[in-house]
Structure 1
Amino acid sequence: MNPAFIITIDVEADDAWRGSADVTTENAAYLPRFQALCEKYGLRPTYLVEWAMTSSPSMREFGQSVVADNTAEIGMHLHAWTTPPFRPLTEADHRLRPYLADFPPDDVAEKVAAITGRLEDLFQVPIVSHRAGRWVLDEVYARVLVERGYLVDCSVTPHVSWPGAKRDYTRFPSQPYFVDLADIGRPGDSPLLEVPMTVVPTARAGWVGRASRAVGRTSLAGRALNRLSPEVTWLRPNGRNRRDLLGLTRTAREAGWPHVEFMIHSSELMPGGSPYFRSRRSVEGLYADLEALFAYVATGFCPVTLAEFHAGISRAAPRS
């Protein structure tokens, strides 16, 4: 059976990394080009939309179009500092970008309810797929998602620890599993399917990890070391990793993995919208990499959205 190929796009404001209180959403106008490329190769993306983007007329028009044409799925992505209700956790949430998991449980529930309702009103479809802002999910957050009817999460990044968030995914499963709501790092019987991001250790992971721990992972030296020789490889384009993208998908196909999950930010599709693709030339290079990857996966993979993947897993599950 061919592996599923899942495309996820975090649809969020322009250059959210800069920490500015001024939010712009110009990158929404660049989504149709990406969608056209997906359709050229028969691929079915899932757009995980953050609150700030729901105010963009371009995003609303685009999302309504792909829903009407049944060419993509709309899901939810939540940044705690832009999603109401606004009860600041720090002196400057827009700059410090606290994780939703840092907020009291009632705030978590209210923010999830607010953005879910907003997306469902705009696009007139159930919203059942989700990725946490800055990748951090915990048990409280997962239970809120289940209570709101979510069926799929894709926040887990295997082999990666997020020290500032105190969220360590290094021992989490790398293949899809229904989560245990008492411990989201293990399989259970909840209705929430975790579809982990495709992240694999590199051949140099051991010595790089030891060296970066010695100097401090978040220090200048630690960040430089990981950039030069990363501990893990993601199925995520950065303008320099076409070979890695193709290698990961080739490995998945040969090994018979159930899925691979690709991700990109919507702002990376716009020149100057992210720290990684600052110029038109760099965005054109990105599209050359995407063309090569999508042409390869067009045969030998099964293109599905997150909700479609969940439906396939559910159908395949044995009945008691």
Structure 2
Amino acid sequence: MTKPAFLITIDTEGDNLWQNHQSISTENTRYLPRFQALCEKYGFKPVYLTNYEMAVDAEYVEFARDVIARGTGEVGMHLHAWNSPPLQALTDDDWRHKPYLIEYPRDLVRAKVDHMTKLLEDAFQTKMLSHRAGRWAFNEYYAELLLEYGYQVDCSVTPNVNWAFSPGDPQGQGGTDYRHFPAQAYFIDPSNIARAGHSSLLEVPMSIQLKHSAMMNAFKQGYDALRGKKRSPSALWLRPSGGNLENMKKVALRCLEQGHDYVEFMLHSSEFMPGGSPTFKTEQDIEQLYRDLDGLFSWLSERTQGLTLAEYYQRKVK
């Protein structure tokens, strides 16, 4: 019997983008080899979903080319619209507001996807097959472009999560509402990305489980609404947050019990660096992160098989 896949996705981007920047550093590149070595210890193959500032970082390019050459991981595309060429201001301060790509004019969306795809393929000398949208914002036009440029896999969908309350352009409608999207992998209907269709683009949603029952979530959201607050239902992700090993196991186990043929993990590359994120600020935080990662990977190594997104795609089309 084929084991479920373990898919490790790393949003590979500049240092601590949660802060407001006027320029972006990429020191976190130096912290990736340790994580890569941990993945290889368990036979897992991370997918480095790479954005602009990392794609032009020579040290990162050298690291990722080696991963590709040894067949121990994959590079895909990740696009932060506000600093990915060609640049054209959408708001009074795009670096502060971080607009979603789907908020830009269509011709500029196309130009940014074109530029990033060609930049990555030139830097890493391999076809880009996998993609995750910056800030998880995805729509039908974006899917159409991924199909046009030959991508096979998208992993932007976050089931049960509504990003409409997370603004990009202050004059916009916020991010994508994924509350009614499938939680398992499906080939996208390009006319409605929330449902399965017959395209060649495979959607691989993040492994996310609701923290509370539907009844409790309805109560909590009603209570928040009375207080004038709007937020997405509370959810648990297969994502480290510091000392949350048991919750990550719980998410993975629920997904497998529900019949999912994969579990999908995510983290940002900058979270491997002390001070590279709001969550892991100190060296002690990083050591806790690695204790959690080692515990999770050891547990999953008995239940899953490590695949890249492109390898998982091949499993689905056979």
Give the conservation status (yes or no) of the 8 Å contact 1:253–1:300. Answer: no
**Counterpart residue number, 1:65:** 66
Q: TM-score, normalised by structure 2?
A: 0.93
Amino acid at match of 1:241: N
Query: 1:190 maps to which residue?
Result: 199
The aligned amino acid for 1:104 is P
Q: 1:87 aligns to what? A: 88
Deviation at 1:129, TM superposition (A): 0.3
Could you tell me which amino acid in structure 1 is paired with residue 192 of structure 2?
Answer: D
SS where residue 74 of structure 1 aligns?
strand
Distance 1:208 1:236 in 2: 23
1:180 to 180, 189, 194: 189
Counterparts of 1:271 and 1:173, CA distance in 2? 35
Alignment of structure 1 residues 1-320 onto 2, 5 Å = 1-163=2-164, 164=167, 165-203=174-212, 204-217=216-229, 231-315=234-318
Amino acid at match of 1:124: Q
Deviation at 1:255, TM superposition (A): 3.8
Moved over 4 A (4+): none
Shift of 1:67: 0.7
> Aligned-pair distance for 1:260?
0.9
Q: CA deviation at 1:251?
A: 2.6
> Which secondary structure does the structure 2 equivalent of 1:77 belong to?
strand
Q: Decide whether the 8 Å contact of 2:243 with 2:288 is kept in 1.
A: no
CA distance in 2, matches of 1:283, 1:214: 39
Contact 1:152 1:306 in 2 (8 A): yes
AA in 1 matched with 2:298: A
Contact 2:136/2:175 (8 A) holds in 1: no
Letter in 1 for 2:292: D
CA-atom RMSD in angstroms: 1.4
Unaligned runs of 5+ in 1: 316-320
Q: Counterpart of 1:300 in structure 2: which amino acid? A: R
Cα distance between partner residues in 1 of 2:198 and 2:117: 24
Alignment identity in percent? 46
**What SS does structure 2 have at the residue aligned with 1:16?**
coil
**In structure 2, distance between residues paired with 1:100 and 1:55:** 20
Q: Deviations over 1:170-223 (max 9, x none)?
A: 0000000011111100111111100000111112533333333333446xxx7x
Is contact 2:189–2:196 with CA below 8 Å preserved after alignment?
yes
SS of residue matched to 2:249: helix
Partners of 1:10 and 1:186 in 2: CA distance: 25
**CA–CA distance in 2 between the matches of 1:281 and 1:14?**
18
- Report the AA paired with residue 174 of structure 1: A
2: CA distance between counterparts of 1:157 and 1:212?
22
When normalised by structure 1's length, the TM-score is 0.92
Q: Measure, in 2, the Cα distance between the counterparts of 1:166 and 1:146.
A: 21
Structure 1 contact 208–231 (Cα < 8 Å) conserved: no
1:2 Cα deviation after fit: 2.3
Deviation at 1:166, TM superposition (A): 4.5
Secondary structure in 1 matching 2:82: coil
Partner of 1:318: none
Counterparts of 2:205 and 2:11 in 1: how far apart (Å)?
15
Structure 2 unpaired stretches of 5+: 168-173
Partners of 2:270 and 2:66 lie apart in 1 by 20
Q: Distance in 2 between matches of 1:58 and 1:214?
A: 51
SS of the equivalent of 1:18 reads: coil
Q: Which letter maps to 2:265? A: F
